[in-house]
Structure 1
Amino acid sequence: MQTLRQVLVQNYTRTTAGNGHIRVKRREREEDGGDGLPPGPIRLASPYDTDTRWSAKRDMFWNGFKLHVSEKCHAQEEGDRPESPNIITNVTTTASTLPDTKALEPVHQAVDRRQLLPRRHYLDSGYPSAELIVDSAKTYGVALVTPVLLDTSRQAKAKNGFAAHDFTIDWAGEKAVCPAGKTSAAWNPNVQNGVPKTVISFAALDCIPCPFKEQCTSARSNRRQISLQPHELTEAIRHARAQQQTDEWNQDYALRAGVEGTIRQVTHTAGLRRARYRGLTKTHLDHTTSATALNLIRLHAWWNGHPLDHASHSHLARPQIALAA
Structure 2
Amino acid sequence: MTAAARPAELPLFGQMPGDISVSFEFFPPKSEKMEAQLWDAITQLAPLAPSFVSVTYGAGGTTRERTHATVARIIRETGLVPAAHLTCVGASKAEIAEIVDQYWDAGVRRIVALRGDPPPADGGKFVPHPEGYTSAADLVAGLTARHDFDISVAAYPEVHPEALSAEADLDNLKRKIDAGASRAITQFFYSTDAYFRFLDKVLAAGITAPILPGIMPVTSFAAIRRMSGNTEIPGWLEAMFEGLDERPGPRALVAAVAAADLCKRLYDGGVRDFHFYTLNKAEQAYAICQLLGLRPNTKPVTNPVENAA
Global fold match (TM > 0.5): no
Larger radius of gyration: 1
Larger fraction in strand: 1
Larger fraction in helix: 2
Task: With a CA cutoff of 8 Å and minimum separation of 6, indicate the structure with the bigger relative contact order.
Answer: 2
